[in-house]
Amino acid sequence: MAIAASGAISFSTIRDEFSPGSNSSVTFSDYYLDGSKVKPKAGDNNATHLGTGIPTSGALDLSDFYSKATGYKLTISSDATDQSLATIFGDDYDVDYPKIVVINSGVTVGATSTSAYAINVPANAAGTITIQNAGNIYGFGGSAGNAGGDAIFAGSECTITNTGNIKSGGGGGGAGGVGGKGVASVNATLSSFVDEGGAPYGSGNAPANDAPSWFDAGSRPGYGGSNNLNGSGVVGDRKWGGVNGANAQGGAVNTTWGLFTSSTSVSGTCANRGPFYCSFQVGTSGTYTVEGSVSSLYGSGYGTPTINISTSTTSASQGQGGGTYLTNQTANLSADTTYYFVGYLGSIGGGTNLYYNNFSSGFSLVTNDVTSGGAGGAGGAGASYNANAGSGSAGGSGGTNGGAGGTGGDGGALGAAGANGAVGANGTGDSADFPSSAPTNGTSASSGAGAGNYINGLSNVTLSNSGTVAGNTA
């Protein structure tokens, strides 16, 4: 406490102020400014010397000590950030002399990041440290999902008298959950469609390519030899009509038999000819339905409609979708992958003539598309010394029947935790197993992060509080 500004003053009054606890007699010259009792102030000490005005030499008068006090004092009278007492007091920070920081009413001292402090009292201080706060000491808010920053760090012993506000930064809000996958029926696009065994035709109307190497027609009547796509005894009204009637075999009088595409299906029909053989790509990964049939003017027993879909010309079952299928079975096909499709009759008895037997097979382009759920919304930032808490962002929209992402949680107010995000909405639609299982439920949201500490280093602090504090302590 400073010596009075007027009235009676004694040597003991001076001694009690500048040498507290001493009962020794006063040697007046010890109390020169910058002497042994009234310590000098370092050049980098930004505080005010409370003994300023006391002579450094010459005559001393008791009146020289009116309103004087022991210590260095800094008054923060306008808004400031990241105040370190080691910087304020410079080389005097580790000098055994009282140090006082006053924060005026209406003034805010804030931290500019969660790794900084509004007021930092580093280790290795000497002398008493007193912080008198009538204003606001606020930490920095945490970003989405992250804890708020601290208001005060006390690495050295200090006394804090608070009649204002000391609050940590608010915690960031938690992220919303991802929406669940949905399932929607779509018509897949068809591309890179090629009649692998048809046009162009060579001499004798022979197809340009044989069937795949793994297919062995053998000497079955009506196939014209091993792997030959050109049937024997073909008459004009049964010759190959190409793709959708284009590039028909020489001498064909109609296009009933060939490969056919539409917006919803792929099919092939042949008679008295070996298997049809094509390649293609689809634009949507999904499960596709394959079908096949055979009809005859001459009864039954003409084999089993069979389809093979493979990623290889040398294997009947290789890669995704590879395998042999009977009618009304399903094949899993990946988008933008070249597949080889062969339709043929299996289990044909010896001596069976396929003449005037109609064989058809194909697959539907209608499939269940697995759609993605919407992304979860980001959490809001926690409140800071210079900003209110942010609101959580709305979640993204999912694809068709995909669940919307959950809304992010709001950031916490000063000294408060952030709110939890919302769970993502569930996906809807029919069940699908490829390319992934769907529909699925939305995912859980993230929890809001905690507030920072209004005091970090509480064991070093003697706190007198008649104001407001908010947040945690450490």
Q: Cα separation of 139 and 31, whole Å?
A: 41
| CA-to-CA dists, residue 218 to 213, 268, 270, angstroms | 12, 22, 18
Q: Cα separation of 406 and 425, whole Å?
A: 7
Name residue, tokens 């608010």.
Answer: 170
Torsion of CA 220, 224, 229, 234, to 10 degrees: -110
In contact, 282 and 363? CB cutoff 8 Å: no
Instruction: Identify the pLDDT of residue 83.
Output: 98
Estimate to the nearest angstrom the gap between the alpha carbon of 133 and the chain centroid.
41
| CA-to-CA dists, residue 341 to 45, 264, 338, 390, angstroms | 86, 17, 10, 57
Instruction: Identify the pLDDT of residue 35.
Output: 84
Instruction: Identify the pLDDT of residue 99.
Output: 98
The overall average pLDDT reported for the chain is 87
Strand, coil or helix: 262: coil
**Model confidence over 287-337: pLDDT tens digits?**
999 888 877 666 555 667 778 888 887 777 655 556 677 778 888 999 999
Instruction: Identify the pLDDT of residue 253.
Output: 64
Q: Cα separation of 423 and 445, whole Å?
A: 5
Instruction: Identify the pLDDT of residue 200.
Output: 59
Taking residue 171's Cβ as centre, other Cβ atoms within 10 Å add up to: 37
In contact, 139 and 471? CB cutoff 8 Å: yes
Taking residue 11's Cβ as centre, other Cβ atoms within 10 Å add up to: 14
Instruction: Identify the pLDDT of residue 326.
Output: 72
**Model confidence over 208-261: pLDDT tens digits?**
556 676 665 544 444 444 445 555 455 666 677 778 887 777 766 666 778 899
Ranges of the chain with pLDDT below 50: 218-227, 232, 350-354
Q: Cα separation of 412 and 414, whole Å?
A: 7
Q: Cα separation of 329 and 365, whole Å?
A: 14
Instruction: Identify the pLDDT of residue 328.
Output: 80
In contact, 428 and 419? CB cutoff 8 Å: no
**Model confidence over 73-84: pLDDT tens digits?**
999 999 999 999
DSSP type of residue 4 = P
What is the token pair recorded at 190? 């068809």
In the sheet where 304-310 sits, what is the strand order?
Answer: 190-195, 276-282, 339-346, 304-310, 323-325
